[in-house]
Amino acid sequence: MLYLYPVEVVADMYVSRVGGCSPELDRGEIGINANAISSNTSLIAGESMARLRFFNSNRPFFLRKRYRIIGLEEHMEGYGLSKNGEVVFSELEYRSEFEGKEVIINAVEDFRIGDDLKSVVMAMREKLRHIKI
């Protein structure tokens, strides 16, 4: 079966819509149809982390909250809200104005940097130290 979402726009960045909220998800988790994850993305359900951005938001990248991507299976309550691969929030983080809005799922940091931001900063400082301005 083909799923409309998530759609990859560049490596490890996807666009989807918000489908609703599910009490099965904890704060800090978003759910996406497990089959849509496996067929449309390189995300790993239960492991991948991503930051979300709504199209009308100007919040800086590193101030956005990170979410763990959960694969929604057919037996789960939230599955019906993600039939085409839509994003499902926990009840605690869902707001009704999210419904049907497009959202960017950015997993670049997770796949390319991981949790070790300190090493990235140190590497940048080292590179800048050698540049003559």
pLDDT in tens, the chain (133 residues): 799 999 999 989 999 999 999 999 999 999 999 999 999 999 999 999 999 998 877 777 667 789 999 999 999 999 999 999 999 999 988 888 888 899 999 998 755 555 555 666 666 677 677 666 5
Residues in CB range of 108: below 8 A, 6 or more apart = 11, 12, 13
Q: What SS3 class is residue 125?
A: helix
**pLDDT for residue 129:** 73
Q: What SS3 class is residue 93?
A: coil
Q: Please give the radius of gyration of the chain, using alpha carbons only, rounded to the nearest integer.
A: 16
Token look-up 């666009």 returns: 15
Q: What pTM does this model have? A: 0.79
β-partners of residue 14 are: 8, 105
Q: How many residues in total does the chain contain?
A: 133
Q: Look up residue 113 and give its DSSP letter.
A: I
**pLDDT for residue 29:** 97
CATH for the stretch 7-129: 2.40.40
